[in-house]
Amino acid sequence: MLKVLKNLKKSFWSVVVIVILLCIQATTDLALPDYTSKIVNIGIQAGGIENAVPEIIAKEQIEDLLVFVENNQQEEILKHYTLVGKEATGQEEKIIHKYLGKDYQGKPDTIFVLKEISKEEKDELSKIMATPLMQLSTIQNESIKNMAEEQANQILAEFTNKIDNMQDSIKEQVAVGAVKQLYQKLGVDTDKLQNNYILVAGLQMLGIASITMISAVSIMLLSSRVAAKLGRTLRDKVFKKVIGFSNKELTQFSTASLITRSTNDIQQIQQLITMLFRVVVYAPIIGIGGFIKVLTNSDSQMAWIIGVAILAVLFVVGTLFISVMPSFKKLQELVDKINQVAREILTGLPVIRAFHKEKKEEGRFEKANYKLMKTDRFVSRAMSMMMPLLMLIMNSIMILIVWVGGHNVDQGIIQVGDMMAFIQYTMQIVMAFLMISMISIMLPRAAVSARRINEVIETEESIQDLPEVKKFDSSKKGLVEFKNVSFRYPDADSEVLEDINFTANPGETTAIIGSTGSGKSTVVNLIPRFYDVTGGELLIDGVNIKEVSLKSLRDIIRISTTKRSVIFWNH
């Protein structure tokens, strides 16, 4: 197979572009589930608020919040905020316009604005502020405000105890709700904030999906061109090789087999190349990248579901592979056989009709046709079972994810968006293994075809066209001499010609007469070196024909054949 793939060097730059595009497509495909998760978790559930860190907050609100913050953490919070004076700086003005509009005219020193900080700093600040925000939201609840102080403190203490037992993700979800309340009290249009977040995230998804689409279309176009170019190269090599074959090689392969190798076998290689790049480059990136994304961005407690999915896919594909693989090689051999039978019948049709053997030949063709149909039907049925079984596995895995993920959502372990992203990552990983499995079935069949093509290309011609050693003697022009010539056909048990001696003089007619099978045509076939003599010497113009090039030899020879005679001209 590798010998065949070496012919791809003519399409080197196309292959490089395909690899780059596959990397781009894999990267964009892996990015899409994250946006789905963000739209659900942040855009829909959290109202467009990304974390428990308010970007803008009133002075009195932050003072109320700091009551619930430990003394050593109050400075940590305040150092990340700036109290806006009469004139806001670029970052402060940007945040004020985002939340309160460009026409906002507020009193100075009444609003705190979050400084420009890194994502890591913001995540750390979110953990510090989550619990105080929930406590502040609880104490500001209207029903609690109307309670007696002792009862309100008791409820607050119970709520604080529950907060301590909450998962971090649940704390952040509840705290985001508290941030939303702070924004509303400040006069922020939270509906507009939510719509803007969903719109921006949606447009980003469309942009990434467009890149994926363009990459996929370009990859298929380039892959098809590379595969077609490889097919043309292989057909050209096979054809040029066959042109130089002697009758020995033509008999060894058979004409029908050479036709099959030049068409059907090369087509198998083309189909493989079209998918090969996606499996070699795209599938590993998607499989490994998807698994890393699951472990880092989602709940790793559900990672075992991916293992179950992969094992199920490998079991189905492995079973089919073991069952079908032996039939692939047999299928190519049966295609050779039916081509051979059809060719023999069509070329010998006049003789078949003359001896009234139509029924016998029909039976011979039907036998070869039935064997091919039976094998092809088995392969087709086995392969047709693959997709339904794999789709059953994928849908069953999706149900399992929803069932397990639903319980985790109910317990507050993960969010709905995370579960949706996990489904997408799992499907990507399963599809990656599915592509690898598909190529593992196509590869053996293509390997059989590649081996058959290489057999033709690497076959050494029995008649070697050596550089011309001697030139014809012009004084003996037209003289043909057989000196103790013997000849045996390849794999034959006995000599067809033995110790043949005669001279055909120029200007004379030399007739070779004998019964059918006596070797008349064989004698003539030795002169242009369709076969090489196995003993003795054959001289033309006084020179051994093995000591001149085939071109020089055949340039001076003309042969005309009919059903009853062979006419040979020298010069």
pLDDT of 199 above 90: yes
Superfamily of domain 474-570 in the CATH hierarchy: P-loop containing nucleotide triphosphate hydrolases (3.40.50.300)
For the ranges 147-161, 295-309, 414-428, 505-519, the lowest mean pLDDT is seen at 147-161
pLDDT of 468 above 70: no
Give CA–CA dist 74/58, Å, rounded. 16
Tokens of 554: 């055949």
Residue type, 45: Q
Q: Which residue has the higher pLDDT, 44 or 145?
A: 44
The pLDDT, as a whole number, for residue 20 is 92
Residue by residue, DSSP assigns 410-422 as: HTTSS-HHHHHHH
The pLDDT, as a whole number, for residue 571 is 57
Q: Which residue has the higher pLDDT, 155 or 398?
A: 398
Judge contact between 539 and 483, C-beta under 8 A: yes
As a whole number, mean pLDDT of residues 122-139 equals 81
Tokens of 452: 């058959």
Angle made by CA atoms 352, 357, 361, in degrees to the nearest 5: 90
Task: Give the bridge partners for 535, in sequence order.
Answer: 486
The pLDDT, as a whole number, for residue 378 is 85
Residue pLDDT, tens place only, 173-182? 778 888 888 8
As a whole number, mean pLDDT of residues 74-95 equals 82
For the ranges 220-224, 294-298, 316-320, 344-348, the lowest mean pLDDT is seen at 294-298
The pLDDT, as a whole number, for residue 528 is 85
The pLDDT, as a whole number, for residue 317 is 78
Where along the chain do its domains lie?
A: 39-200, 474-570
The pLDDT, as a whole number, for residue 209 is 93
Residue pLDDT, tens place only, 558-571? 766 554 444 555 55
Banded pLDDT at 203 (limits 50, 70, 90): very high
The pLDDT, as a whole number, for residue 564 is 44
As a whole number, mean pLDDT of residues 553-560 equals 76
Banded pLDDT at 207 (limits 50, 70, 90): very high
Judge contact between 527 and 446, C-beta under 8 A: no
Give CA–CA dist 541/307, Å, rounded. 79
Give CA–CA dist 54/62, Å, rounded. 10
The pLDDT, as a whole number, for residue 212 is 92
Is the pTM of the predicted complex or chain greater than 0.75?
no
The pLDDT, as a whole number, for residue 565 is 47
pLDDT of 42 above 60: yes
Q: Which residue has the higher pLDDT, 138 or 424?
A: 424
Q: Strands across the sheet with 497-504, in order?
A: 497-504, 480-487, 535-540, 543-544
> Taking all residues of the chain, what is their mean pLDDT, rounded to a whole number?
81
Banded pLDDT at 298 (limits 50, 70, 90): low
Helix (H) or strand (E) holding 561: strand 557-561
Percent of the chain with pLDDT over 70: 89
Phi, psi of 278 (to 5 degrees): -65, -35
**Kind of pairing between the strands at 543-544 and 566-570:** unpaired
Among residues 277, 291, 284, which one has the least CA distance to residue 20?
277
Residue pLDDT, tens place only, 491-516? 777 888 888 898 888 888 888 888 87
Burial of 332 (0-12, 13-18, 19+ CB in 10 A): buried
As a whole number, mean pLDDT of residues 201-216 equals 93
Q: Which residue has the higher pLDDT, 290 or 491?
A: 290
A 10 A CB-CB count for 14 gives: 15
Banded pLDDT at 167 (limits 50, 70, 90): low
Residue type, 42: I
Task: Give the bridge partners for 339, in sequence order.
Answer: none
Burial of 36 (0-12, 13-18, 19+ CB in 10 A): middle
Judge contact between 144 and 152, C-beta under 8 A: yes
Tokens of 263: 């068409």
Residue pLDDT, tens place only, 228-262? 898 898 888 888 888 877 777 777 777 777 888 88
pLDDT of 447 above 90: no
